Amino acid sequence: MSEISRHTGLERTRVYRLVEQLKEVQLVVMEKSNGRNLVKGAPIANLHALLTKKEQNLKGLQDKLWVIERLLASSTLSSPVTRVQFYQGAEGLREMYWNETKAKGENLSILYENMQGRTGAKFFDQWVRQCNENNLTFRGLICDHFINTQHDWYKVHSNERLLNWESRFVDPTVFAVTHSTVIYDNVVAYYVWKDAEIFGVEITNQQIADAQRIFFEMLWEKSAPVNDLTGVKSSQNESSLGVLDV
């Protein structure tokens, strides 16, 4: 260490710090000889491996930059009263769902599929905890596909639950649910994930949100409470209804 300091003109404290950083990325190794700490360069293959990893990280950042540029260039429309935002991929959906946690009023949703299957259990638990901490209330209209995804999920998972959640089953002859819609405050959010398409759209406009609320309430009146077995599915039984909770 003292020789490195002398030959480089660097203070010994800085030499120690730099050597520690090189050790962390496996570019140098330390040996003891006659009570002295000797610093030796690692095999050149270690440097090649480090550069390859850096290149992969850079490629990942470049891919994300392309998505950001695309969103900024063509996906955001705004006016004094209206804003339309486009989101893409699983990360985009997670951002949309997190926006819901900031709601000031009731969350109304028409659900095609459970969200945790797309966002992952870890994010879902964080989302639920944040919603519960903010004392948010939810009403949801659910369909056959949502019920099936809930049953499949809870066969192998357990997670946090929303404290203020009420759901009703909407019969497909009344309204066929093909994607998820969420209404809160002055926002209407659409979530679409079919085949290779995973994207979402947020429309911030009070009049559009109010119109969607009226539509939701009309469907709500025509739908059956989930705890009413005759209003869900003839194959449902009371022991399986617990997994319908979000």
Question: What pLDDT, on a 0 to 100 scale, did the predictor assign at position 16?
Answer: 86
* 177/64: higher pLDDT: 177
Mean pLDDT of 154-174: 90
Residue in the structure block whose two tokens are 């480089």: 8
The residues spanned by each domain of the chain are 2-42, 79-244
Q: Count of CB atoms within 10 A of residue 38's CB?
A: 12
* 80/245: higher pLDDT: 80
The percent of residues above 90 in pLDDT, for the chain, comes to: 43
Please state whether the predicted TM-score (pTM) of the whole model is above 0.85.
no
Integer-rounded Cα radius of gyration of the chain: 27
Question: What pLDDT, on a 0 to 100 scale, did the predictor assign at position 89?
Answer: 86
- Measured CA angle at 141 (ends 140, 146), to 5 deg: 100
Question: What pLDDT, on a 0 to 100 scale, did the predictor assign at position 195?
Answer: 67
Nearest residue to 180 via CA among 218, 149, 136: 149
| The pLDDT of residue 238 is above 60 | no
- The architecture CATH gives domain 79-244: 2-Layer Sandwich (3.30)
Mean pLDDT of the chain: 84
Reported as a single tens digit per residue, the pLDDT across 77-102 is 556 678 999 998 888 899 999 999 99
The percent of residues above 70 in pLDDT, for the chain, comes to: 85
Reported as a single tens digit per residue, the pLDDT across 111-154 is 999 998 888 888 999 999 999 999 999 999 999 999 999 999 88
Question: What pLDDT, on a 0 to 100 scale, did the predictor assign at position 227?
Answer: 59
Q: How many CA atoms lie within 13 A of 96 on its CB side?
A: 31
Question: What pLDDT, on a 0 to 100 scale, did the predictor assign at position 31?
Answer: 85
Per-residue pLDDT band at 74 (split at 50, 70, 90): low
Quote the crossing angle between the two packed helices 89-100 and 121-133, to the nearest 10°: 10
User: Are the C-beta atoms of 142 and 226 separated by less than 8 Å?
Assistant: yes
Question: In three state form, how does the secondary structure of the chain look?
Answer: CHHHHHHHCCCHHHHHHHHHHHHHCCCEEEEEECCEEEEEECCHHHHHHHHHHHHHHHHHHHHHHHHHHHHHHHHEEECCCCEEEEEEHHHHHHHHHHHHCCCCCCEEEEECCCCHHHHCHHHHHHHHHHHHHCCCCEEEEECHHHHHHHHHHHCCCCCCCCCCEEEEECCCCCCCCCCEEEEECCEEEEEEEECCEEEEEEEECHHHHHHHHHHHHHHHHCCEECCCHHHCCCCCCHHHHHHHCC
